[in-house]
Amino acid sequence: SAAERHFKYVILGGGVSAGYAAREFAKLGLNPGELAIVSKESVAPYERPALSKGYLFPQDAARLPGFHVCVGSGGERLLPAWYSEKGSLSLVIIPSLLLDGIELMLNTEIVKADLASKTLTSETDVNFKYDNLVIATGSQFVNLSDVGVQGANANNIFYLRDIDDADKLVAAIQSKKGGKAVIVGGGYIGLELGAALKINSFDVTMVYPDPWCSELHCYHKLLQLQNRMECELWCLSCTLENLSHAGRLVSSEPDRFRCTELSIELIVLDGLTKSSVSRRQVILVPRLFTPEIASFYEGYYANKGIKIVKGTVAAGFDSNSIGDVTAVRLKDGQILEADIVVVGVGGKPLVTLFKGQVKEEKGGIKTDGFFRTSISDVYAVGDVATFPLKLYGEDRRVEHVDHARRSAEHAVKAIKAAEESRSIEEYDYLPYFYSRVFDLSWQFYGDNVGDTVLFGDNDPKSANPKFGAYWIKDSKVVGAFLESGSPEENKLIAKVAKLQPPVQDLEQLREDGLTFASNV
Ligand code: FDA
Ligand code: NAD
């Protein structure tokens, strides 16, 4: 019969949210043996963003225990021993009775969740019973073999989500040094990995499709303007149909669309609106980068010697007799030689364990402003949570580290407050995203909707390029982006995005640039 363990609190997942939640539990008071973290990873929670940056440096690479949480936000570093010590503190008077503080159950994959009986079952048939559950399972990458790309199981085709993935990639970087790398995808992973492989002296080619995401984003706005009229998004014939990361762009039901090489078509079901646009602009990070921002990074990458193939997708892979990848076949017929391929074509939140048991929305688990799901005593945080973004009056899911940290802390505060019959404020989040590649570093705060105004020097050939952008909706600045800002300047753009100051003259805003932010 199955072994059984019981805990007052169980955190399912051992990533960023789990680590920050554990710290918050410890801060607010925890008795030994009350909290368990169940993680399929083999190491204690760490700052995941390091994996696509410092972890891949050719010299002085970041390694654990250097980047365990919570160093990424300037906090205490929780080494594995912290978990067993924490919560035991109240027992210092009787050290012989030292129980485990927080139980960190590594290498433990949960394969079944039964929310009705408050039970999680592991692969090795251990039942974890809980009083309160925090779901922090994060995301998994979209796998090209799952979407029918032929040959995608060849050796040396890498994805990046956890430290095991990163270790495999590091080994290949060392063994294929100086070889050819193809990066499939032009999102966050694509951009950061393209830079990382270039720094490791690879001959790098990046490939990604037209900016269907960004253009869909325009439609997303259109739908909002039309009061979320029921609609379908059509974008005929691309391999991307039904990918979850595409669906999440669309706020209305049903989340369906099709993509063609040439156009994206939107049909509103009441028959009143039918429109389409050509896919003319190519944008590196759709959904956030405007064409002007993207052209800077594309130019910068080109100057570094990175080749960029746009407007097509990987259709298949060739491999040799021992199964190692040798080439990427593109849909437009081009063939790119490759010793290593890194794929970053989006993520999908890991919610399958809870399908049919809990309310979902926009691909995630629906929560309230305290991260409570539709089932009592069950919370969801980080990448998997679709929560009310108070500032914009709509439910959103955010796949970035700052939200993972804050949502985890907020959920724990809510759990503790409920126990003590106290109330706390609802989560009031200002979205914050960032990335770092080569000598560049950008930050973005707020919402990327409405008109955009670019300011500063975005010439990729400049010695010290520095530029930014504002997003303006209903005559208010709602979002702000800054490349190569100082810490003080980044604080300024955060303040603008939070306060949403009015603006009338967009030309003046362009001229004022950062001065506008400093006068707010
Ligand atoms: P996270 O993925 O961190 O943790 C989920 C945990 O659950 C993992 O430990 C997983 O193994 C575990 N798990 C899942 N299913 C399980 C099961 N059934 N049983 C047991 N355990 C299970 N963001 C940003 O703002 N700036 C950045 O620079 C970066 N950089 C970056 C690089 C890379 C390589 C990645 C993959 C991601 C980023 N991100 C980022 C995104 C950021 O890291 C991400 O949003 C957070 O890690 C989300 O935190 P979570 O705790 O929700 O998931
Ligand atoms: P993404 O959604 O940012 O980008 C996916 C990219 O793949 C898009 O450019 C898309 O056009 C492209 N694409 C889709 N299908 C393709 C195909 N068949 N061939 C070629 N290109 C294709 O996702 P990602 O970059 O894979 O990132 C995965 C997750 O990791 C996300 O949750 C992301 O937020 C997170 N992450 C964040 C950061 C950061 O915030 N700095 C860094 C790394 C990873």
List pLDDT tens digits, range 244-278. 223 323 333 333 333 333 334 443 333 333 333 33
Using CA positions, which residue lies closest to atom 29 of ligand 2? 347
Determine contact, residues 37/100, Cβ cutoff 8 Å: no
* Percent residues over pLDDT 90 in the chain: 72
Highest mean pLDDT, choosing among 202-216, 236-250, 344-358, 398-412:
398-412
Report how far ligand 1's centroid is from the alpha carbon of 91 (Å). 33
Report how far ligand 1's centroid is from the alpha carbon of 12 (Å). 12
Ligand 2 atom showing the smallest separation from residue 189 Cα? 25
171 with 241, same domain? no
pLDDT in tens, 447-471: 988 889 999 999 999 999 999 999 9
Secondary structure letter of residue 425 according to DSSP:
P
Average confidence (pLDDT) over 217-239: 33
Report how far ligand 1's centroid is from the alpha carbon of 136 (Å). 9
Determine contact, residues 159/34, Cβ cutoff 8 Å: no
* 160 Cβ closer than 6 Å to some ligand 1 atom: yes
pLDDT in tens, 65-90: 999 999 999 999 999 999 998 755 44
Backbone angles phi, psi at 50, to 5 degrees: -65, -25
* 15 Cβ closer than 6 Å to some ligand 1 atom: yes
Distance CA 469, CA 303 (A): 23
Report how far ligand 1's centroid is from the alpha carbon of 235 (Å). 30
Task: Decide if 293 is inside a domain.
Answer: yes
Indicate the pairing of strand 139-141 with strand 385-389.
unpaired
38 with 114, same domain? yes
Report how far ligand 2's centroid is from the alpha carbon of 245 (Å). 9
* 189 Cβ closer than 6 Å to some ligand 2 atom: yes
Distance CA 365, CA 384 (A): 6
* Residue that terminates a domain, selected from 260, 278, 296: 278
342 with 358, same domain? no
Report how far ligand 1's centroid is from the alpha carbon of 422 (Å). 31
* 188 Cβ closer than 6 Å to some ligand 2 atom: yes
Average confidence (pLDDT) over 333-340: 97
Task: Decide if 199 is inside a domain.
Answer: yes
Task: Decide if 434 is inside a domain.
Answer: no
Please check the confidence at residue 295 and state whether its pLDDT lies above 60: yes
Closest CA to 12 of 375, 362, 381, 363: 381
Task: Decide if 412 is inside a domain.
Answer: yes
Task: Decide if 429 is inside a domain.
Answer: no
Using CA positions, which residue lies closest to atom 45 of ligand 1? 400
Ligand 1 atom showing the smallest separation from residue 402 Cα? 25
Report how far ligand 2's centroid is from the alpha carbon of 191 (Å). 9
Could you give the number of structural domains in the chain?
4
* 433 Cβ closer than 6 Å to some ligand 1 atom: yes
Domain encompassing residue 363: 3-138+350-419
4 DSSP β-pair partners: 127
Q: How far is CA 427 from CA 4, 273, 369, 411, in A?
A: 35, 36, 5, 9
* 259 Cβ closer than 6 Å to some ligand 2 atom: no
pLDDT band at 445 (very low <50, low <70, confident <90, very high): very high
pLDDT in tens, 132-190: 999 999 999 988 887 778 999 999 999 999 999 999 999 999 999 999 999 998 889 99
Cα angle: 47, vertex 385, 231; to 5 degrees: 130
Distance CA 463, CA 452 (A): 25
446 with 468, same domain? yes
72 with 85, same domain? yes
Q: Strands, E, within 85-189: which ranges?
A: 102-105, 110-114, 119-122, 126-135, 139-141, 157-158, 180-184
Distance CA 45, CA 16 (A): 6
CATH number, position 131: 3.50.50.60
Distance CA 324, CA 140 (A): 24
Please check the confidence at residue 92 and state whether its pLDDT lies above 80: no
343 with 372, same domain? no
Task: Decide if 143 is inside a domain.
Answer: no
311 with 342, same domain? yes
131 with 262, same domain? no
Q: How far is CA 34 from CA 8, 23, 104, 427, 497, in A?
A: 5, 14, 12, 25, 40
Name the residue of 55, 158, 208, 436 to mutate for ligand 2: max ligand atoms within 8 A of Cβ: 208
23 with 165, same domain? no
Determine contact, residues 465/439, Cβ cutoff 8 Å: no
Task: Decide if 152 is inside a domain.
Answer: no
* 185 Cβ closer than 6 Å to some ligand 2 atom: yes
CATH number, position 513: 3.30.390.30
* 257 Cβ closer than 6 Å to some ligand 2 atom: no
Q: Where on the phi/psi map is residue 291: left (φ > 0), alpha (ψ -120 to 50), or beta?
A: alpha
Question: Which ligand is the nearest neighbour of the Cα of 282?
Answer: 2
Distance CA 373, CA 377 (A): 8
Report how far ligand 1's centroid is from the alpha carbon of 27 (Å). 23
42 with 161, same domain? no
- Amino acid in the structure at residue 83: Y
Name the residue of 64, 137, 351 to mutate for ligand 1: max ligand atoms within 8 A of Cβ: 137
pLDDT in tens, 106-143: 999 999 999 999 999 999 999 999 999 999 999 999 88
Please check the confidence at residue 47 and state whether its pLDDT lies above 80: yes
pLDDT band at 100 (very low <50, low <70, confident <90, very high): low
pLDDT of 450 reads 82
169 with 305, same domain? yes
Please check the confidence at residue 240 and state whether its pLDDT lies above 50: no
**More confident: 51 or 249:** 51
192 with 304, same domain? yes
In this predicted complex, what is the ipTM?
Answer: 0.99
Task: Decide if 464 is inside a domain.
Answer: yes
